[in-house]
């Protein structure tokens, strides 16, 4: 077992300051401070204090002064959250050397430049990665929307910043001559222009061949998990979340608090590089994001008097509870509600392989409901075959079609059951690509569409189309057809040809008749109500 004994390094401070993933508490504290500052001074004075922190920032985001008009919003975006944590360190109390008037003038000039280029970046930035707060709307100044890095892949400044951040995250106990850092994984192949803001990685060579990762930097359980994600061995949002939580359990077991550090703060900082690494292997899903938020909250809530053994035991217990409540028991509750909706003689259509939907159908079959299932499948993943295998094993009567036959088969169908990857705050359902197509055709045939989703997959994000935030899979998957012919083998040599292998799409709430969650059956428009109730509970 690898022991992680740390010596406190000066760079911890820098890393904290530059870590883009602030915990929820930190962000709330920062917001409160900002509000207090606003109340005590005039609104215009508020900016100089923030600006002063920006000035104090040594070699922060390495990009040069934002003179070019296209850069300012992105620049403002990145440095804005970064220097604010500096206010936590006591040095923030010192006022800058420059006078306030000079800062005001500088800042106003920058703002004008920003406002001029506001139109370019627009307000379309999704409040994407879970954990990023919504920019507080100030009455006078324009709201600077922060685009997360994973949707700014075509912006070289952002990429440079991300690379630097990854470097800095890996300095714990590294020998000076080891190449310690996680290099940025490079994109592969030509990207279709609509999706050029997303990453596209290749699965040909395993990840560890491309990125040399010494084991002192990332815990081997996490490396294994990353490999499993990137090769597609662990797939499906429930499976990925559970695997993530088990890997974190291993990390916690192997963790020892370094001297002069508190477990609650140090462990959270330790997890940050792991999360960046996993993000490089495969972009995090909404359910994983929520699980990570939960763990970070639990860790930071550990009281400082707690002994290490006890703290670790508590954390492991928390994780087990979370898995049990939110995934296992939720599945049982959802199955109970769904069985009421399955009547004898039903013909149920399912798409792809959702662990939850399969569980529901198996339970219903055990309760002696008479129904038959039509499994719809699509290339290149062909996940429907796995679902078919599981259902046929139980003895359920199944039919298998490809998605191109869906309008042919729908007149026979009485209900459609779909799984979800995440449910967005405006009621849209994010799921495997092809789901929205099936929902659309089902609506045209007046067939009720039921989505089954646990509440831990509910996400505060808002999205109305599938372009803004998605995942691009390896385009080489599309090359080989069933008969083994590969006419597209040399697609890279054709300059006007691009292969697109999308993973997710969003379905509008008008096509979904009912969402079955562990809290009960709700209409798709009530997702924000559930989110509100959950926040009140916490």
Partner 1 sequence: REKQLVEYFRAQMRKDPDMASAVAAIRTLLEFLKRDKGETILGLRESLKWATDCLTGEDSSVAVSSGGELFLRFISLTSLEHQDLSRCKKVMEERGELFLEKISMSRTKVAKLCHTFIKDGAKILTHSYSRVVLRVLEKAAAEKKRFSVYVTESQPDSAGRQMAEALRKLNVPVTVVLDAAVGYVLEKVDLVIVGAEGVVESGGIINKIGTYQMAVCSKAHNKPFYVVAESFKFVRLYPLNQQDVPDKFKYKADTLKTVQNLSEEHPMIDYTPPSLITLLFTDLGVLTPSAVSDELIKLYL
CA distance 46 to 53: 11
Among 415, 421, 457, 461, binds partner 1 (CB under 8 A): 415
Please identify, using beta-carbon distances, which residue of 321 and 529 lies nearer to partner 1.
529
Among 13, 109, 233, 533, binds partner 1 (CB under 8 A): 533
CB of 309 to partner 1, least distance (A): 39
Which tokens hold the place of 252?
Answer: 């916690």
Judged by CB under 8 A, the stretch of 4-12, 185-193, 394-402, 515-523 that binds partner 1 is 515-523
CA distance 432 to 92: 46
CB of 368 to partner 1, least distance (A): 20
CA distance 71 to 304: 43
80 counts as binding partner 1 under rule CB under 8 A: no
Which tokens hold the place of 141?
Answer: 């100044």
Question: Site residues for partner 1, window 344-383 (CB under 8 A)?
Answer: none
Three-class SS state of 318: helix
Please identify, using beta-carbon distances, which residue of 302 and 530 lies nearer to partner 1.
530
CB of 338 to partner 1, least distance (A): 12
Among 92, 362, 392, 514, binds partner 1 (CB under 8 A): 514
Binding mask 427-466 for partner 1 (x = CB under 8 A): ---------------------x-x----------------
Q: Which residues pair with 430 in a beta bridge?
A: 422, 506
CB of 76 to partner 1, least distance (A): 37
Which tokens hold the place of 30?
Answer: 């920062």
Please identify, using beta-carbon distances, which residue of 102 and 510 lies nearer to partner 1.
510
Provide the pairing of β-strand 415-419 with 449-452.
parallel
b/e per residue, 161-191, with b = 16+ CB within 10 A?
bbebbbebbbbbeeeeeeebbbebbebbebb
Counting beta carbons within 10 angstroms of the beta carbon of residue 362, is it exposed (0 to 12), middle (13 to 18) or buried (19 or more)? middle
Please identify, using beta-carbon distances, which residue of 299 and 441 lies nearer to partner 1.
441
Please identify, using beta-carbon distances, which residue of 126 and 448 lies nearer to partner 1.
448
529 counts as binding partner 1 under rule CB under 8 A: yes
Please identify, using beta-carbon distances, which residue of 403 and 512 lies nearer to partner 1.
512
CA distance 538 to 532: 10
Judged by CB under 8 A, the stretch of 108-116, 381-389, 463-471, 518-526 that binds partner 1 is 518-526
Please identify, using beta-carbon distances, which residue of 244 and 447 lies nearer to partner 1.
447
Judged by CB under 8 A, the stretch of 1-9, 200-208, 394-402, 508-516 that binds partner 1 is 508-516
CA distance 428 to 465: 9
Question: Site residues for partner 1, window 282-341 (CB under 8 A)?
Answer: 341
Query: Which residue intervals of 323-465 are DSSP H helices?
Result: 330-341, 355-366, 384-394, 406-409, 435-444
- Give the length of the chain: 538
Please identify, using beta-carbon distances, which residue of 235 and 514 lies nearer to partner 1.
514
Helix (H) or strand (E) holding 154: none
Please identify, using beta-carbon distances, which residue of 415 and 457 lies nearer to partner 1.
415
Q: Is the peptide bond between 380 and the residue preceding it cis, with omega within 30 degrees of 0?
A: yes
Helix (H) or strand (E) holding 521: strand 520-522
Give residues in contact with partner 1 (CB under 8 A): 341, 415, 448, 450, 510, 513-514, 521-523, 525-526, 529, 533
């Amino acid at each position: 077992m690898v022991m992680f004994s740390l010596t406190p390094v000066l760079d911890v401070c820098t890393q904290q300051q530059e870590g883009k993933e602030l915990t929820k508490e930190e962000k709330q504290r920062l917001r409160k401070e900002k509000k207090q500052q606003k109340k005590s001074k005039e609104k215009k004075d508020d900016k100089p204090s923030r600006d002063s922190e920006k000035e104090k920032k040594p070699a922060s985001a390495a990009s040069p002064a934002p003179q070019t008009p296209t850069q300012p919003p992105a620049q403002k975006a990145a440095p804005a959250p970064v220097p604010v944590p500096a206010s936590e360190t006591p040095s923030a109390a010192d006022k800058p050397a420059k006078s306030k008037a000079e800062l005001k003038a500088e800042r106003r000039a920058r703002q004008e430049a920003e406002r001029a280029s506001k139109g370019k970046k627009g307000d379309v930035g999704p409040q994407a990665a879970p954990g990023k707060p919504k920019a507080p709307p100030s009455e006078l100044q324009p709201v600077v929307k922060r685009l997360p890095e994973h949707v700014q892949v075509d912006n070289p400044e952002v990429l440079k910043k991300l690379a630097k951040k990854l470097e800095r995250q890996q300095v714990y106990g590294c020998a000076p001559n080891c190449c310690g850092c996680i290099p940025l994984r490079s994109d592969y192949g030509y990207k279709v222009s609509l999706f050029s803001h997303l990453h596209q990685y290749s699965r040909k060579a395993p990840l560890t061949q491309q990125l040399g990762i010494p084991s002192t930097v990332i815990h081997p359980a996490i490396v294994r998990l990353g490999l499993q994600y990137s090769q597609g061995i662990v797939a499906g949002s429930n499976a990925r979340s559970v695997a993530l939580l088990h890997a974190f359990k291993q990390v916690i077991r192997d963790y020892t608090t370094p001297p002069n550090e508190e477990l609650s703060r140090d462990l959270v900082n330790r997890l940050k590089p792991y999360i960046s690494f996993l993000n490089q292997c495969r972009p995090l899903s909404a359910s994983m994001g929520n699980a990570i938020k939960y763990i970070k909250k639990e860790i930071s809530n550990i009281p400082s008097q707690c002994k290490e053994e006890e703290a670790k035991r508590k954390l492991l217990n928390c994780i087990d509870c979370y898995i049990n409540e939110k995934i296992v028991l939720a599945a049982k509750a959802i199955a109970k509600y769904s069985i009421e909706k399955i009547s004898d003689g039903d013909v149920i259509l399912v798409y792809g392989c959702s662990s939850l939907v399969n569980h529901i159908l198996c339970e219903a079959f055990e309760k002696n409901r008479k129904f038959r299932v039509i499994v719809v499948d699509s290339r290149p993943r062909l996940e429907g075959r796995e679902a078919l295998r599981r259902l046929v094993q139980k003895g359920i009567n199944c039919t298998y079609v490809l998605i191109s036959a869906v309008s042919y088969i729908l007149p026979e169908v009485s209900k459609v059951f779909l799984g979800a990857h995440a449910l967005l705050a405006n009621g849209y359902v994010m799921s495997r690509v092809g789901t929205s197509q099936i929902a659309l055709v089902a609506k045209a045939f007046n067939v009720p569409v039921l989505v089954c989703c646990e509440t831990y997959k509910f996400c505060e994000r808002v999205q109305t189309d599938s372009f803004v935030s998605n995942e691009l899979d390896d385009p080489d998957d599309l090359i080989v057809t069933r008969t083994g012919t590969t006419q597209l083998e040399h697609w890279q040599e054709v300059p006007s040809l691009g292969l697109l292998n999308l993973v997710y799409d969003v379905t509008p709430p008008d096509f979904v008749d009912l969402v079955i969650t562990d809290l009960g059956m709700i209409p798709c428009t009530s997702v924000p109500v559930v989110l509100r109730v959950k926040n009140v509970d916490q």
